[in-house]
Amino acid sequence: MSPEDPKPIRLLIADDEEDLVTFLGHRLRKRGMEVTMALSGAEAVSAAAQLTFDVAVVDLRLPDMSGIQVIEQMRAIQPHLEVLMLTGHGGHDSAWEAGRLHAYRYILKPYDFEDLSDLIHEAARHRRETMKQEFETKLNDLMTGTTSPREIIEESEKLRREYEQD
Amino acid sequence: MSTNRIKIALVGEGRSLSDMLSGLATRSRLLRLKIVAVVDLAHDPASPVREHARSIGIPLISSHVSDLYEIEGLSLVLMASDLPAELARLRAEMPQHLPVLGPESHAIVEGLVRLIDTNRLLRADSRRLKETRLRLHEFVDTAPLAIYIKDTDLRYKKLNPHALRMLGVREGEMVGKRDRALYPDGGARWLQIIEHETLRSRKTLHASGVLPIQNQEMHVQVTLFPIIENGVTEGLYGLIEDTTELVESARRLHRADAQLNETQKYLREVLENSRDIIFLTDPAANLLSFNSGAETVLGYSRDEIVGTPAHRLCATPGAFDRLFAEALRDGHAVAYESEFVTKDRESVIVNISLTRIEGPDGKPLELVCICRDITTRLRLKQDLIRSERLAAVGEMASGVAHEINNPLAVIDTIAGLVEETLEDEGQALAPETQHILQKALDRLHHQVQRVTKITHSLLGFVRTPETGMTEVNLVELLEESLNVLGIEIRRSQTEVRRIFADDLPTFVSDPLLLEQVFINLIKNSIDAIVEVPQRPGVLEILTTLDEGRIRVTFQDNGVGIPRADQEKIFNLFHTTKPAGKGTGLGLSIVHDILHLLGGSVRVASEPGSWTRFIVEIPLDPPATPPPDPSVSI
């Protein structure tokens, strides 16, 4: 756990290769992450419905749905979720699709563990910064707006709770 | 009846009497004679002449001249035999008024006989003549020929039904009239001239011309016969044949002939100037002709090769001879993908078609040989087969790579886990065991990386089938490619310098294929940079627009490419990287893709210092991708 990440990273790994999920999960837990494992697209989406994640590592091809569909459905629940796309298939058509759907990065199997770990931290930081920026923008909008002080206090309190709760 | 006839008696003997009797007896009626007595001086009551006389009912048959004196009304006595004594006696004894003809009577009788016979013949002729006339009239009336008769004034005397139909007149209107009534504008002058000539020369004449009949021009052929009766010209027969259709046909034939000539000329020119190899040979397979296509492809000039055996053109003369024999026997023979040899001993692959041409006597006159040069087509076909094979290999390779990558990821992850565990809790183990395990895991990583390199290259080799041309923004595409390779760039500590022209238009191309090109080239540069760890790596990407082409230059300060390899670098499976690092796939893919998109790639390099790849892409994509003659596997 790096000093600038006070909270442990909440990670979801979705891959139908059980050995991979098990051992990758184990190693990342040792690095201080909170890891949830899913072996299918449905499991991944239902996990996203129950828990909030910073980053999801998703295989491009899952047995029940494509990685792209999984991203779309999880994003519908958690708009700020950052995704790293994993694939054993190097066709750049898939890379193109992933890029289009704003996967944070696209990673070919077999990956380098350290690179993957770094990328997860990077993605989590990216997510935090994006959210912080959004919070500040909204707060700023609120302050410069024509709303009453009472409303401002109520709204800002709500925003702060949302941000801090996350 | 018998009273009107002249009563005669014949006197004589033997043969002469017999001849005279038979000559006169059969013609007596015509001569108005009646033989009333025959005196046979031979005194033989059973002679043939007496038998004859009895059989035809001669009233008096005697041996004595004196018996004649008693015959009443006897007008003439003919002496058949030359008996001078008897004649003298007879003349002396006969009554004064009764003439007796001596030996001259023979001549008289003979003359009479001939006269009668001639008369008979004449009568038979006249009967036949009548029949002939009848037939002629029948013929004239029914013949499918237009026939007319004119008098010497050239007035119509008769027209047969066919002629009336042809001229569109009734007989009544025309008889007694001249042609002027029929052709008022003098349209038949030529016919009148020839008719006059027929009358004058009394010869049968032929002529042909045009008659304006029923307001139409009719081509006719006319035959004119003079009619001569008793030596006097009475008029003429005219025979008209409508030859309009014949003339038309002839004209058409002539036109067709002219067209045929034209076509033949055209064909000859086509054959002569054809790009195909075309030549003629005699039945002994010696060259008779050699067209310009043959000259161009085979390098021989017509003059130097005509007259020599055709099989010298073939790489295997024996095979050509067999083919030739087959064509001579069956009329036609073909051979596919045969090899010809040019004058410069180069090989040309041709399809041969041999055809026998027969003379009027049915014997082989010559053979036509048409050969198509399929060398280029064959090469293209081979290229196609090769690239199809490559695509299939790529397809399979990517499938295999995918299957390998997943377990590889698991192995590597587990190896890492074991390594971490060894680091954290391995103190319990003997130092030597720790060391060997550490080394084993290190090698395991290394080997996994080796396999990874190969599988990743194989994945790059796939030519994505569902590609498409679309609007491409070059800078976005380059950034995307750099992004994909972000980890490698950071790990190799390569500094990427972007020198992008800001006036670059978007253009139509295949972004997925182009991205594959850029990724391969950037990866290549990084690999070259890693080879020189002592020097900070720099990759310069330069974009420019030049004469309708976009140029992207990738320049790195890596290890460079040995000069000997710079030509072969785009060949499939050729690699200059250290063993185990390169697969020889990347640059051949770059080359193939750019060729497909109508672009190109060049390389320049200073071994040990730098390498520059220059990619050019057209702003307008090619309509159809050109075949690639340079791919070799």
d(CA B91, CA B84): 10
Same domain, B308 and B341: yes
Q: Kindly tell me if the per-residue pLDDT of B580 is higher than 60.
A: no
Closest CA to B406 of A92, A89, A11: A89
Same domain, A52 and A109: yes
In chain A, which residues have their Cβ closer than 8 Å to the Cβ of B523?
A: none
Q: Which residue of B has its CA nearest to A25?
A: B413
pLDDT, tens digit (0-9, with 9 covering 90-100), for B118-157: 888 888 888 888 998 888 888 888 888 889 999 999 999 9
d(CA B225, CA B77): 56
User: Which whole-number Å values give the CA distances from B376 to A147, B200, B381, B442, B628, in the listed order?
Assistant: 80, 82, 8, 54, 12
Sequence-ordered list of residues with C-beta below 8 angstroms from that of B252, at least 6 positions apart, any chain? none
Same domain, A83 and A32: yes
In this predicted structure, what is the pLDDT of residue B306? Answer: 93
Q: Mark yes or no for CB contact B408/A110 under 8 Å.
A: yes
- Domain assignment of residue B248, yes or no: no
Q: What percent of chain B has pLDDT over 90?
A: 24
Q: Mark yes or no for CB contact A108/B519 under 8 Å.
A: no
Q: Kindly tell me if the per-residue pLDDT of B582 is higher than 70.
A: no
Residues B375-387, mean pLDDT to the nearest whole number: 74
Q: Mark yes or no for CB contact A110/B452 under 8 Å.
A: yes
Tokens found for residue B384: 């196609």
> Could you tell me if A128 lies within 8 Å of chain B, comparing CB atoms?
no
In this predicted structure, what is the pLDDT of residue B584? Answer: 46
Same domain, A107 and A141: no
- Domain assignment of residue A53, yes or no: yes
**Nearest Cβ partner for A27 among B417, B480, B512:** B417
Same domain, B565 and B607: yes
- Domain assignment of residue A3, yes or no: no
Same domain, A22 and A58: yes
Q: Kindly tell me if the per-residue pLDDT of B93 is higher than 70.
A: yes
Per DSSP, chain A holds a count of helices (H) and strands (E) of: 6, 5
> Could you tell me if A24 lies within 8 Å of chain B, comparing CB atoms?
yes
Interface test with B, best of A13, A92, A107, A126 (most B CBs within 10 A): A92
Sequence-ordered list of residues with C-beta below 8 angstroms from that of B401, at least 6 positions apart, any chain? A88, A90, B454, B455, B456, B458, B459
In this predicted structure, what is the pLDDT of residue B628? Answer: 41
d(CA B561, CA B569): 9
Same domain, A77 and A40: yes
Pairing of strands B277-281, B332-341: unpaired
Same domain, A63 and A136: no
Contacts 24+ apart (CB under 8 A), B513-516: B513/B463, B513/B464, B513/B467, B513/B593, B513/B596, B513/B597, B514/B472, B514/B477, B514/B593, B514/B597, B514/B617, B515/A92, B515/A95, B515/A96, B515/B477, B515/B480, B515/B481, B515/B484, B516/A92, B516/B460, B516/B464, B516/B589, B516/B590, B516/B593
Residues A108-134, mean pLDDT to the nearest whole number: 89
Q: Mark yes or no for CB contact A109/B408 under 8 Å.
A: yes
Most confident range, picked from B132-136, B182-186, B381-385, B609-613: B609-613
Q: Mark yes or no for CB contact B464/A92 under 8 Å.
A: yes
Domain carrying residue B489: 465-618
Same domain, B580 and B446: no
> Could you tell me if A17 lies within 8 Å of chain B, comparing CB atoms?
yes
Q: Mark yes or no for CB contact B398/A89 under 8 Å.
A: yes
Q: Mark yes or no for CB contact B456/A92 under 8 Å.
A: no
- Domain assignment of residue A135, yes or no: yes
Question: Interface of chain B against chain A, CB under 8 Å?
Answer: 398, 401-406, 408-414, 416-417, 420, 448, 452, 456, 459-460, 462, 464, 466, 480, 483-484, 486-487, 491, 511-512, 515-516, 519
- For residue A85, how far is the Cα from the chain centroid? 11
In chain A, which residues have their Cβ closer than 8 Å to the Cβ of B405?
A: 88-89, 108-110
- Domain assignment of residue A66, yes or no: yes
Chain B: give the shortest CA distance to residue A30, in Å.
Answer: 10
Same domain, A93 and A137: no
Q: Mark yes or no for CB contact B403/A92 under 8 Å.
A: no
Domain carrying residue A146: 131-165
pLDDT, tens digit (0-9, with 9 covering 90-100), for B432-463: 888 889 889 988 988 888 788 777 766 654 44
Residues B390-416, mean pLDDT to the nearest whole number: 80
**Nearest Cβ partner for A91 among B408, B464, B487:** B464
Choose one of B404, B433, B458: the last residue of a domain: B458
Report whether B276 contacts B350 (CB < 8 A).
no
Q: What CATH number does residue B540 fall under?
A: 3.30.565.10
Same domain, B560 and B470: yes
Same domain, B342 and B443: no
Residues B262-267, mean pLDDT to the nearest whole number: 83
Q: Which residue has the tokens 């976005």?
A: B476
In this predicted structure, what is the pLDDT of residue B463? Answer: 43
Answer whether the bond into residue B431 is a cis peptide, omega within 30°: no
Q: Mark yes or no for CB contact B405/A88 under 8 Å.
A: yes
Of A152-166, B59-73, B214-228, the one with minimum mean pLDDT is: A152-166
In this predicted structure, what is the pLDDT of residue A117? Answer: 93
- pLDDT band at residue B264 using 50, 70 and 90 as cut-offs: confident
> Could you tell me if A151 lies within 8 Å of chain B, comparing CB atoms?
no
In chain B, which residues have their Cβ closer than 8 Å to the Cβ of A93?
A: 464, 466, 512
Q: Kindly tell me if the per-residue pLDDT of A95 is higher than 70.
A: no
In this predicted structure, what is the pLDDT of residue B364? Answer: 82
User: Which whole-number Å values give the CA distances from A159 to A51, A141, A147, in the listed order?
Assistant: 20, 12, 15
Same domain, A141 and A90: no
Q: Which residue of A has its CA nearest to B414?
A: A23
- Domain assignment of residue A4, yes or no: no
- pLDDT band at residue B630 using 50, 70 and 90 as cut-offs: very low
Same domain, B440 and B490: no
In chain A, which residues have their Cβ closer than 8 Å to the Cβ of B410?
A: 17, 19-20, 23
> Could you tell me if A63 lies within 8 Å of chain B, comparing CB atoms?
no
Same domain, B364 and B400: no
Q: Mark yes or no for CB contact A109/B406 under 8 Å.
A: yes
Q: Kindly tell me if the per-residue pLDDT of B209 is higher than 70.
A: yes
Q: Mark yes or no for CB contact B402/A26 under 8 Å.
A: no
In this predicted structure, what is the pLDDT of residue A102? Answer: 62
- Domain assignment of residue A2, yes or no: no
Note the ipTM here.
0.77
Question: What is the rounded average pLDDT for all residues in chain B?
Answer: 84
pLDDT, tens digit (0-9, with 9 covering 90-100), for B557-567: 999 988 877 77
**Which is it for the CA torsion B424, B426, B427, B428, positive or negative?**
positive
Q: Mark yes or no for CB contact B466/A93 under 8 Å.
A: yes
Choose one of B458, B488, B509: the last residue of a domain: B458
Q: What CATH number does residue A39 fall under?
A: 3.40.50.2300
- pLDDT band at residue B468 using 50, 70 and 90 as cut-offs: low
Chain B: give the shortest CA distance to residue A16, in Å.
Answer: 10
Chain A: give the shortest CA distance to residue B494, in Å.
Answer: 16
- Domain assignment of residue B123, yes or no: no
- Domain assignment of residue A5, yes or no: no
Same domain, B442 and B483: no
d(CA B557, CA B532): 9
Q: What CATH number does residue B234 fall under?
A: 3.30.450.20
Report whether B610 contacts B556 (CB < 8 A).
yes
Chain A: give the shortest CA distance to residue B491, in Å.
Answer: 9
- pLDDT band at residue B469 using 50, 70 and 90 as cut-offs: confident
Same domain, A80 and A146: no
Q: Kindly tell me if the per-residue pLDDT of A5 is higher than 60.
A: no
**Nearest Cβ partner for B416 among A17, A27, A106:** A27
Q: What percent of chain B has pLDDT over 70?
A: 90
- Domain assignment of residue A62, yes or no: yes
Same domain, A106 and A147: no
DSSP A102-122: T-SEEEESSPPHHHHHHHHHH
Residues present in chain A in total: 166
Pairing of strands B216-229, B205-213: antiparallel
Q: Which residue of B has its CA nearest to A115?
A: B487
Q: Which residue of B has its CA nearest to A17?
A: B406
In this predicted structure, what is the pLDDT of residue B597? Answer: 82
Same domain, B546 and B420: no
B511-530 vs B586-596: helix crossing angle, rounded to 10: 150
Same domain, B367 and B425: no
In chain B, which residues have their Cβ closer than 8 Å to the Cβ of A23?
A: 410, 413-414, 417
Q: How many domains does chain B have?
A: 5
In chain A, which residues have their Cβ closer than 8 Å to the Cβ of B460?
A: 90
In this predicted structure, what is the pLDDT of residue B583? Answer: 46
pLDDT, tens digit (0-9, with 9 covering 90-100), for A42-60: 999 999 999 999 999 998 8
Contacts 24+ apart (CB under 8 A), B212-221: B212/B183, B212/B185, B212/B187, B212/B188, B213/B166, B213/B167, B213/B168, B214/B167, B214/B168, B217/B244, B218/B242, B218/B244, B219/B243, B219/B244, B219/B246, B219/B247, B220/B244
Q: Mark yes or no for CB contact A90/B408 under 8 Å.
A: no
Same domain, B608 and B473: yes
Same domain, A51 and A105: yes
In this predicted structure, what is the pLDDT of residue B325? Answer: 92
Q: Which residue has the tokens 């002709």?
A: B289
In this predicted structure, what is the pLDDT of residue B353? Answer: 93
Instruction: Establish, for the pair of chains A and B, how many residue pairs have beta carbons separated by less than 8 Å.
Output: 84
In this predicted structure, what is the pLDDT of residue B114? Answer: 85
Q: How many domains does chain A have?
A: 2
- Domain assignment of residue B628, yes or no: no
Q: Which residue of B has its CA nearest to A119?
A: B487
In this predicted structure, what is the pLDDT of residue A89? Answer: 66
d(CA B543, CA B628): 26
Chain A: give the shortest CA distance to residue B475, in Å.
Answer: 15
Q: Which residue has the tokens 């007896």?
A: B25
**pTM for the predicted model, two decimal places:** 0.42
Residues B397-409, mean pLDDT to the nearest whole number: 81
In this predicted structure, what is the pLDDT of residue B13? Answer: 87
Q: Which residue of A has its CA nearest to B406?
A: A88
Q: Mark yes or no for CB contact A26/B459 under 8 Å.
A: no
pLDDT, tens digit (0-9, with 9 covering 90-100), for B30-47: 888 889 999 998 878 888
Chain B: give the shortest CA distance to residue A129, in Å.
Answer: 20
Same domain, B614 and B576: yes
- Domain assignment of residue B255, yes or no: no
Same domain, A121 and A161: no
